[in-house]
Structure 1
Amino acid sequence: MKHIKTDLLVVGAGSGGLSVAAGAVQMGAKVVLLERGKMGGDCLNYGCVPSKAMIASAARAHQLATAEEFGITSVVPEVDYAAVKQRVAEVIATIAPHDSQERFEKLGVTVIREEGRFVAANRMVAGDTEIEARRIVLATGSRPLVPQIPGLEDLPYLTNETLFELQDKPEHLIIIGGGPIGLEMAQAHVRLGCKVTVLEAGSVLAKEDRDASALVAEALRREGVDLQEYTSATRITGQTGSIMIETNTDHRVEGTHLLIAAGRQPNVETLDLPKAGIDFTSSGITVDEVLRTTNRKVYAIGDVAGGMQFTHVAGYHAGLIIRSALLSLPAKAKTAHIPRATYTAPELAQIGLTEDEARHAHGDSLEVVRFDYDGNDRAIATGRTEGWIKVMVHKGKPVGATVVGPDAGEIINLWAMVLANGLKMSHLTSMVSPYPTLGEISKRAAGNYYAPRLFDNKLVKYLVRAVQSLLP
């Protein structure tokens, strides 16, 4: 067996693992990278990239179908589902070289395309190679969680790992799960001409602001998605092309294809973690505030660390690992400044505390300010007025922001900077936005925070009158 000694061993070539490997090798460390599947991980191959490419195609189809709102004759779009999937594949192929084995080997990383498992605290075996490392970073990600539903094991079903390979347009797609993945794919498919039913055991987008989630759900229903909340599958029968699902509401749903979008589970089973003294649960690997496992030589980042499961969180973790594992600098993982977004139409984006969370944390001292899209001139001009921004403020500082509406994922970026740097609402009022832009809603929300302090304040009015009386 071949033996390698290295400074850093990275397991998993997804967003987090690639960022650590690239940063570490360019700073002078010897790096070995293990990847058992495709370079780029879930985000590039099965998640963020293909889903957003498909959503873009669906949006174009929707524009054609609703063009009359802009004085143009609407048409029923002719959707070539296979061509849509071909475009998705082309988008992946365009981005793939940045995450490729060739690029990382040119950077100086030793890339081994094998599955790794621990044989000791600081040693792993991958294929016919044993790697001994000063530090090890586990970035193995997660995979679709498949619920135990009677009959499901006998039926071909789709997950995000197989959906984008499907070439024939589903006549009736049934989706189990009303989270971000389920709703994004539900809207995309109904816009591409499919019949879509979503079964959600609770409320859709349950982790999000209740009013914002309700607005998204209303929009999907308006477009034709059969959204059934508080409905769970109790038994599944049939085959691809003829699927029947029994539910807890005694209602039967029949469709042609089934997509499981019921959550994620960490990839830990093949790592032999006990041999390295690493604790883990069903949620992921146990880590401390610096992302270190119960083995001080080993770190875990991204989805497998059991926290927020977003590509940008894995990238954020990677930066912390560079500081901590390579430079021995303090670097604690935080979550209050991490944004998230669901790319439905309207989009829903959140950072920090939701209104309910903020009221629980701050009680009566919390102030909530809001501004609606229909008060924004750019939104009116472009016919995209559905939505609003809501900002939770405690003692002059935002502690959370919710945006639901067009480009919410872009608008939340400003609030990510505000929360990350501890800025006050006064910093937002000093900002000048170009006119007309959707981004003005952030400044208008900040203005709404100060409006009652200025316009409903008797002292301010008295001072203004006094000053005016003294002017020539």
Structure 2
Amino acid sequence: MNAIDTTKDIFTKDRTARPTDTPQDIKTDVLVIGAGSGGLSVAYGASQMGADVTLLEGHRMGGDCLNFGCVPSKALIAAAKHAHAMTTGAPFGVTPVDPKIDYAEAKRHVHGAIATIAPVDSQERFEGLGVRVIREYGRFVDDRTVEAGPYRIRARRIVIATGSSPFVPPIPGLADVPYYTNETIFDLMEAPDHLIVVGGGPIGLEMAQAHRRLGIPVTVVEGGAPLAKDDPELAAIVLARLKEEGVEILSGARAERVSQGEDGITVHTASGAVTGSHLLMAVGRKANVESLNLDAAGIDYDRAVTVGADLRTTNRRVYAIGDAAGGFQFTHVAGYHGATIIRPILFGLPARARTDHIPWATYTDPELAQVGLTEAQAREKHGDAVEVLRFPYHENDRAIAEGKTEGLIKVMIVKGRPVGASIAGAQAGELIGLWALVLANKLKIGAVAAMVAPYPTLGEISKRAAGQYYAPRLFENDTVKRVVRAVQRWLP
């Protein structure tokens, strides 16, 4: 591969271990491999409840989310929103202007956001909490021992929290051209003349829209359907906005070959070719498990570590969480996994991880969010028992006032209980939290219908959707109407 590495001093790899008086052989209660969201959650919780904790991290504290994913991407999206706002004020009586965009300054904002958050995840903070932090990569040598640099660590319980890395497919010619991934794109300080994004998932489309709003021509090359894991009706709302803003999206255009010439980098597909100055690969992620020597510990794995519902591996002393355990690849899932395994690790009590209440969001504008089953999944699982409640953004007063009327909420109901919710629209990532709460606690739709939302807020969209469950039962029911008329005759 020929991925570009333009890492700045602020992110220089720190391989500093504990002080030199640390023994080469270490015995510990809990060994955590990986200092991303999940690993840090375990290290914090276990250390604060009295366990002796050792934490290994061979790269950057904070993991992918802080350094290459959630934080930098949202910081760049924020910069792009400011630029976009300057061009879209006409409906509000504000004369649009062409913003003067300093791409390097936008990236410095990204680095500043990372640097501000970094102390929370830092080696110094966790050492202050009593965690033994070793800045080395680890590999198993037997079922309960891990080697990390000069250290040999024997632990009662081990947690694999190594996260994931960008997956770069073996496209012919790709190894011979410069390309970026989410691990390097945020260190690019010079604005591309034309950015090609291979991959139409959340990462690819977030970066595509952000760069387009920063004045950069963008083409997305997607081998299948963009946002394929989301409800297609709601995904269409997002894709329509991106295309309206000038993002070129090539669907069903599988990248077959990549080449570089005098005009730039060219991605060849069966339906044609597209040439640009820079290439971003955003086709998915792979679990970081290859270097762990899992066979030595009797741990089964394939593309990720094999775990049960309790997140325990085939080695009873070892757990795997977050991206390393496969399944949903979200920072909040890693944190949830970390909290889940604290009980069995520290107290020997059973605990199981669920997936039916896990939300996710794509931070395009408009946003796209999901929890539980989509409409298609709900109908496949529950058949005719499914009711779909719908409420459009354009009937919400706050959305009208702010000119953010593109959007829709869909709630899937089975026997009075929500089994999924899908939202496309402004602040969908915030609104989905209510439905995650409902699914996590198995609440009935009446709990949301009974809620009083402040007026005017986008939060009323959820309440109005819940009200759709009762509308036909109350307003279109002849029996109810007869009862009301009878009672009215008897009322004084």
**TM-score when normalising by structure 1:** 0.99
Which among 272, 294, 301 is matched to residue 280 of structure 1?
A: 301
- 1:341 counterpart letter in structure 2: A
Which portions of structure 1, spanning 4 or more consecutive aligned residues, are displaced by more than 2 angstroms? none
Aligned residue in 2 for 1:392: 412
- The yes-or-no answer on 1:382 pairing with 2:417 is no
AA of the residue aligned to 1:374: H
State the 1:241 CA deviation: 7.1
Q: Distance in 2 between matches of 1:166 and 1:441?
A: 39
Q: CA deviation at 1:375?
A: 0.4
| Corresponding residue number in structure 1 for 2:328 | 308
Deviation at 1:239, TM superposition (A): 6.1
Deviation track 1:355-390 (CA, whole Å, cap 9, x = no partner) reads 000000111111001000000000000100000100
Q: CA deviation at 1:85?
A: 0.3
Whole-angstrom CA distance in 2 between matches of 1:196 and 1:157: 15
For 1:412, the aligned partner's letter is I
Q: How does 1:23-102 map to 2 (within 5 A)?
A: 23-102=45-124
Are residues 279 and 240 of structure 1, via their aligned partners in 2, closer, same or farther at CA, if it must alter by over 3 Å? farther
Question: Which amino acid is the alignment partner of residue 40 of structure 1?
Answer: G
Contact 1:178 1:200 in 2 (8 A): yes
Gaps of 5+ in 2: 1-22
Which of 276, 290, 293 aligns to 1:269? It is 290
Provide the C-alpha distance between the structure 1 equivalents of 2:347 and 2:263, rounded to a whole number of angstroms: 56
Q: What is the rounded CA distance, in whole Å, between the counterparts of 2:422 and 2:31 in structure 1?
A: 39
Give yes or no for the alignment of 1:338 onto 2:350: no
Query: Does the residue aligned with 2:195 lie in a helix, a strand or coil?
Result: strand
The structure-2 alpha-carbon separation of the partners of 1:241 and 1:118, relative to structure 1 and needing over 3 Å to count, comes to: farther
Residues in 1 aligned to 2:109 and 2:450: alpha-carbon distance in whole angstroms: 43
Structure 2 counterpart SS, 1:20: helix
Give the residue type in structure 2 aligned to 1:437: T
- The answer to whether structure 1 residue 12 and structure 2 residue 34 are counterparts is yes
CA RMSD of aligned residues (A): 0.9
Q: Return the alpha-carbon distance in structure 1 between the equivalents of residues 344 and 230 of structure 2.
A: 32
CA distance in 2, matches of 1:241, 1:216: 31
Q: Distance in 2 between matches of 1:300 and 1:168?
A: 39
C-alpha separation in 2, matches of 1:198 and 1:297: 44
Superposed CA offset, 1:50-97 (max 9, x none): 000000000111000111121100001111000000000000000000
Structure 2 CA distance for aligned equivalents of residues 306 and 414 of structure 1? 26
Contact 2:263–2:275 (8 Å) recurs in 1: no
SS, match of residue 441 in structure 1: helix
Match of 2:444 in 1: 424
For residue 327 of structure 1, the aligned residue among 344, 347, 354 is 347
| Secondary structure at 1:147 match in 2 | coil
Whole-angstrom CA distance in 2 between matches of 1:248 and 1:224: 23
**Structure 2 letter corresponding to 1:209:** D
| Residues 175-190 of structure 1 mapped to structure 2, 5 A cutoff | 175-190=197-212
**AA aligned opposite 1:122:** R
Question: Size of the alignment, in residue pairs?
Answer: 470
Q: Deviations over 1:260-287 (max 9, x none)?
A: 00000010111100000011102x0000
Matched, 1:364 2:384: yes
For residue 429 of structure 1, report the CA deviation from its aligned partner. Answer: 1.3
Q: What pairs up with 1:165-204 in 2 under 5 angstroms?
A: 165-204=187-226
Cα separation, 2, equivalents of 1:117 and 1:262: 28
Task: Name the CA distance, whole Å, in 2 between partners of 1:240 and 1:140.
Answer: 40
- Alpha carbons 2:409, 2:462 under 8 Å: kept: yes
Q: Which residue of 1 aligns with 2:487?
A: 467
Distance 1:261 1:241 in 2: 22
Deviation at 1:42, TM superposition (A): 0.1
- The 8 Å contact of residues 286 and 294 in structure 1, kept in 2 or not, is answered as yes
Distance 2:248 2:297 in 1: 48
Q: Distance in 1 between matches of 2:386 and 2:223?
A: 32
The whole-number CA distance in structure 1 between the counterparts of 2:283 and 2:480 is: 54
C-alpha contact (below 8 Å) 1:156/1:239 kept by paired residues? no
| Pair 240,446 (structure 1): closer, same or farther in 2 beyond 3 Å | farther
Q: State the identity as a percent.
A: 62
Residue 471 of structure 1 deviates from its aligned partner by 1.6
Alignment-mate amino acid for residue 342 of structure 1: T
Q: Deviations over 1:155-194 (max 9, x none)?
A: 1100000000000001100000000000000000000000
Q: Indicate the residue corresponding to 1:437 in structure 2.
A: 457
Query: Bigger shift: 237-246 or 81-90?
Result: 237-246
Map Cα deviations across residues 301-332 of structure 1 (whole Å, 9 max, x no partner): 00010110000000000011101211112211
Superposed displacement of residue 221, structure 1: 0.4
CA displacement at 1:454 relative to structure 2? 0.3
Between 85-94 and 234-243, the greater mean CA deviation after superposition: 234-243
Which range is displaced more, 343-352 or 240-249? Answer: 240-249
SS in 2 for 1:253: strand
Residue 231 (structure 2) aligns with: 209
CA separation of 1:240/1:209 partners in 2, compared to 1, >3 Å: closer, same or farther?
farther
- Give the structure-2-normalised TM-score: 0.95
In 2: Cα distance, 1:3 partner to 1:14 partner: 25
The reply to whether residue 153 of structure 1 matches residue 198 of structure 2 is: no
Structure 2 distance, partners of 1:291, 1:326, is 15
Q: Is the contact made by 1:240 and 1:257 (CA closer than 8 Å) also made in structure 2?
A: no
The correspondence for 2:277, drawn from 228, 253, 256, is: 256
Distance 1:54 1:34 in 2: 30
Alpha-carbon shift at residue 240 of structure 1 (Å) = 9.5
Return the offset for 1:232: 1.1
Structure 1 CA distance for aligned equivalents of residues 347 and 85 of structure 2: 51
Distance 1:164 1:55 in 2: 12
Query: Larger deviation: 348-357 or 319-328?
Result: 319-328
Contact in 2 for aligned 1:241/1:257 (Cα 8 Å): no
Q: Are 1:414 and 2:426 matched, yes or no? A: no
Q: 2:146 aligns with which of 124, 145, 148?
A: 124
Give SS of 1:285's match. coil
- Alpha carbons of 1:87 and 1:430: their partners in 2 closer, same or farther (altered >3 Å)? same
